[in-house]
Chain A
Amino acid sequence: MSAAVLSPAAGAAAGRRDMRRRRLRRFLRHRLAVASAVVLALLILAAAFAPAVERLLGTDIRNVDLTALLQGPSLAHPLGTDELGRDLLVRLLYGGRISLLVGLSAAVFSALIGAVVGILAGYFGGRLDDLLMRLTDGVIALPILPLLIVLAAVDLTKLGLPASVANASDISLYRIIVITALFGWTGVARLVRGATLSLKEREFVRAAIAMGASPWRVMRVHILPNAISPIVVATTLSVGGIILFESVLSFLGLGIQPPIPSWGNMLTGAQEQMTNAPLLMIWPGLMIFVTVIAFNFLGDGLQDALDPRALGD
């Protein structure tokens, strides 16, 4: 081993580089995951360029054009128009912004909750662990969709929010991020707890504790950075589920509120036009499907590559 002749620090750096290369190789072997990463990158790019496409086509998504209802594909409207004469492609791209924004931010938000719950339960153990894990079990056991429907219907002014905030046009966006995150943290919490339990027994952590490091410092400096792999995998795997919940709620009229386009609420309008314009119903659903399956494959590939079950790696 060449690492043996290097200084310990350089050896450790080389080891890390080796590990990273090994993980990258394992990830690249999972072809569906690689393809999914490419698809997601394209989706994000397309969503980012939504305003540019809008300008290029010379339309405006808010522009209701009653002379151009339910048109077929044309040069001006590559995917045609919807039941109010709005350009379908541009609305799909803007809808993608919403779905990706909700999916990613709610996943990160729930990962934060899950990481805190998991690390506290794993590190302190005992009563606190019991309490937090019973809470986690309880949340996992709940029928999530009916509860999400109630939470989406809650009148925010009754929670003491001023009416100007509660009735703002984009409040539906923030509300859905918060309520889906409330149920999404359990997977991360369980994995982080498991990782914390095994890391707590490792020598470098015991050494840190013996040298008098505070629990806060041990968790932040020694445990959390080493538990990143399971957090990343669980977070990626949760994005798809969150996007599905968002689209269901929006479809039922309780999520993202029109005129803000989301793939879910575009399908509500499309349902009524099923006999006249079936393609209107195909596109938004296909976008949800492709996005969700890509996140699921990506998570699967990351799981194989990072293998959170073998933390020592």
Chain B
Amino acid sequence: MSAFLIRRLVQSLAVIAIMSFLVYALIGLMPGDPIDIMISSDPKLTPADAARLRALYGLDLPIGERYWNWLTAALGGDLGFSRSHNRPVLEVMGPHLLRTLLLMGLSFVISVAIAIPLGVWAAARPYSLRDYAVNLFSFAGRSAPPFWLALILIFVFAVWLGWLPAGGLETIGKGGFWDRLHYLVLPVLALTLLNVAGFARFVRAETIAVMRQDFIRTARAKGLTERSVLLGHALRNAMIPIVTIVALDFGTLFSGALITETVFAYPGMGKMIFDSILANDFNLALVGLLFATFVTLAANLGADIAYAVLDPRIALQ
């Protein structure tokens, strides 16, 4: 068990190290560099000044050395300064992260609360009309462009009915808990529609797979009601793979959040990463991307460990 854990941990650390270098190199390939931006804002700078500045900030060093300098500074707690926000990167990230946690967390809880009953309900009668309907819904949810779904929700609830705000974080000059909640309804709804479609499919498939097993026949043979067979035996055993698949799907969840936040102008991590890339805010983009990668990999590692711990049948080499 501990050998398995250590191996997986080392593997994940290696992937994070490789990804941090790749993302660092990619950010370096974005249009312009910090000195070009300085030049464009101060026309008095001569090419000689620019070269001096590049040397001063170490931008003329080879990529390997530049990465090393950045890495040692980052591990020492210095993640740099965000150009577009005029504040240290860490200070910018904190509130954005909290807002994303709120959006994703709310939608996750609601999605699970809908998807599990829906999936089990469909799995109770495989290939019936209701199963067909749930299946169709989950196909539709996975095939609809997320930003289009968001636009339609904005049109219906903000433009047409006028019930909810079209986007943003809060009413300027108002704020407060209820006001923010008001603004959260549409983004959470958009994200929830997508998540339910994905999750319900896993729940249905895994429950049907468990329903074919021998112990289900035994449970029925000893006279249990269909309801307790379904909930007490099938669902409980199906939960292990469901938890794993949902955790493995974290990258998709985050991609959905990025789109939702961008369309609804909700200032979370996803929108922050997108805006920082467009604004050439290299430090912020780099840290935001690495953080998203780190969390996704951690979710994967967590899924593997949970799977191993929850299911004693799995032998760990």
Pick from A70-78, A87-95, A110-118, A285-293 the stretch touching chain B. A285-293
CB of A271 within 8 A of CB of B151, answer: yes
CB neighbours (8 Å) of B289 from chain A are: 146-147, 150
The 8 tightest CB contacts between A and B, nearest first, are: A285-B148, A145-B255, A293-B143, A292-B143, A155-B31, A143-B251, A154-B29, A143-B292
How many angstroms between the C-alpha atoms of A185 and B296 in the bound complex? 19
CB of A150 within 8 A of CB of B145, answer: no
Q: Is B154 an interface residue (CB 8 A)?
A: yes
CB of A248 within 8 A of CB of B292, answer: no
CB of A252 within 8 A of CB of B26, answer: no
CB neighbours (8 Å) of A143 from chain B are: 250-251, 254-255, 292-293, 296
Tally of A-B residue pairs with Cβ under 8 A?
Answer: 124
CB of B11 within 8 A of CB of A150, answer: no
Which residues from chain A sit less than 8 Å from chain B, CB to CB?
134, 138, 140-147, 149-151, 153-155, 158-159, 240, 244, 247-248, 251-252, 264, 267, 270-271, 274-275, 278, 281-282, 284-285, 288-289, 292-293, 296-297, 300
CB of B277 within 8 A of CB of A153, answer: yes
CB of B143 within 8 A of CB of A155, answer: no
CB neighbours (8 Å) of A267 from chain B are: 145, 147-148, 151
In B1-39, the 8 Å CB interface with A consists of 11, 15, 18-19, 23, 26-32
How many angstroms between the C-alpha atoms of A264 and B146 in the bound complex? 11
Q: List 28 A-B contacts (CB under 8 A).
A: A138-B19, A141-B15, A141-B251, A142-B251, A143-B250, A143-B255, A144-B252, A145-B254, A145-B258, A146-B258, A146-B274, A146-B289, A147-B289, A150-B23, A154-B29, A155-B29, A155-B32, A240-B142, A247-B145, A248-B145, A251-B145, A267-B148, A267-B151, A285-B144, A289-B140, A289-B145, A289-B148, A297-B139
CB of B30 within 8 A of CB of A155, answer: yes
CB of B145 within 8 A of CB of A274, answer: no
How many angstroms between the C-alpha atoms of A155 and B29 in the bound complex? 6
CB of B27 within 8 A of CB of A150, answer: yes
How many angstroms between the C-alpha atoms of A267 and B254 in the bound complex? 22
A141's partner among B151, B273, B300 (CB-CB below 8 A) is B300
CB of A138 within 8 A of CB of B15, answer: yes
A149's partner among B152, B159, B252, B273 (CB-CB below 8 A) is B273
